[in-house]
Amino acid sequence: MVFPFPTGLDFSVEMKEEYEIFRKSVRAFAEKEIEPLVKDIEKSNTIPPSLLKKAAEQGYLGLGIPEKYGGQGTDMMYITLFVEEVSRICPAFTVATLIHSLFSFPIFAYGTEEQRMKYLPQIAKGEKHAAHATTEPGAGTDVAGIETTAKKVDGGWLINGRKYFISGADKADYFIVLARTSPPPSRKERHLGLTFFIVERETPGLRVGEKIEVIGIRGSHPNEVILDNVHVPDENVVGAEGKGFKIAMETYDHGRIGVAAQAVGVAQACFEKTLQYSLQRRAFEKPLIYFQAVQFHVSEMLTMLEAARLMLYWSATLANKNKPEAAMAASMAKIFATEVAEKAALKAITVHGGIGVASDGLVERFLRDTQVFKIYEGTNDIQKLVILRQMMRTTFGMDVD
């Protein structure tokens, strides 16, 4: 018995030749187009628009968007492999694709056909950029605690509030915004009364505020977004009024697989750089790889890396099959992979020595990036609650508060 999973068949990982062909093409793109610019991206904290344009030409911004709307399809494994391979070079670059999916997924899954036709093709082609605006100064992991409000008026809604830590806001043409449209029926039902809205950047009253400097993911900094009497028409409501919390949770379940993929890509980079350095760097007249302590570090990094990769591909496979256990697997993958990436970065710094702590050595940046991985898309501690609650719900039909 494999409790709490129904069957051992749920532990299969489905890979196919097409995936590997795609992986190789992404790796070639990342090494040719992104890697030469990594130092500049780290220093300027900006990804060149020309680079996003090249990615769009390859169809990478259309990952997760159905072909009907100009995308490459919704296969989660393709998304996973893209994020993993690009994060091996520059995790910040993948944030641009992840935030696009945080906008496109709820519209595809819950929006109207008119909304899909209007917004998704432009996002898929890279003609427009999008962001997901839920987090606030006093409500991040606690989505039900947001204070942004949307008041019903003739012909639409007036939105007021302040969003914080919104990735991609500086480039976004479109925002999907979560706001409270009615008070919760009770304290236990705080998640009710939330609704998603599409807000276009040029809408009067919307303003992208200060840039927020964070410890890692340089090249894709977040911003605050101010909404001051922003009027949106009724046709910009996404999904059923008052059911935004459910949409948000389903969206983040998919997003967590992307964060796990970022972490696996970073762990892969740390392993490769450490192995290469230990073969080239000499101490006491022989390469570092001849020292047992270094051998242990490299072996442990490889073991952790492959375990994290298997968990990542497993969660992506479950997502592709629309299994109810996919949400639990995504949270497991995020916890495990991000912690593996952190440990791999620390080991990489240890083996690299002085170069490992040099800001231009491009090793210590991975440790900074892992700290962000552990926070966004729901902190790792919150993922533990998600896992427990999902397990109790799917196996016993119980909701545990």
pLDDT digits (tens, 9 = 90+) for 18-32: 999 999 999 999 999
Q: Give Cβ neighbours of residue 20 (< 8 Å, ≥ 6 apart).
A: none
pTM: 0.94
**377 classed as catalytic:** yes
3-state helix, strand, coil in the chain (%, to 5): 55, 15, 25
pLDDT band at 255 (very low <50, low <70, confident <90, very high): confident
pLDDT (tens digit per residue) in 195-243:
999 999 999 999 999 899 899 999 988 999 999 999 999 999 999 999 9
Query: Smallest Cα–Cα separation from 47: which of 30, 69, 63?
Result: 30
* Whole-angstrom Cα Rg for the chain: 21
| pLDDT at residue number 156 | 96
Could you tell me the two tokens for 388? 């427990």
- Mean local confidence (pLDDT), 313-318: 97
For residue 151, which phi and psi values (nearest 5 degrees)? Answer: -105, 130
pLDDT (tens digit per residue) in 56-99:
999 999 999 999 999 999 899 999 999 999 999 999 999 987 88
The residues pairing with 194 across neighbouring beta strands, listed in sequence order, are 180, 243
The three-class DSSP label of residue 286 is strand
pLDDT, averaged across the chain? 94
Instruction: State the burial class of residue 213 (Cβ atoms within 10 Å of its Cβ: 0-12, 13-18, 19+).
Output: exposed
pLDDT higher at 368 or 378? 368
The amino acid sitting at 256 is: R
Q: Domains in the chain, please, with CATH? A: 8-129 (1.10.540.10), 131-244 (2.40.110.10), 246-396 (1.20.140.10)
Residue 401 has pLDDT above 80, yes or no: no
pLDDT (tens digit per residue) in 328-353:
999 999 999 999 999 999 999 999 99
Beta strands of 144-263 (E only): which ranges? 149-153, 156-167, 174-180, 194-200, 206-211, 222-233, 237-238
Contact 378, 141 (CB under 8 A): yes
Query: Smallest Cα–Cα separation from 281: which of 290, 269, 272?
Result: 290
Q: Is the peptide bond before 4 cis (omega within 30 degrees of 0)?
A: yes
CA distance 93 to 91: 5
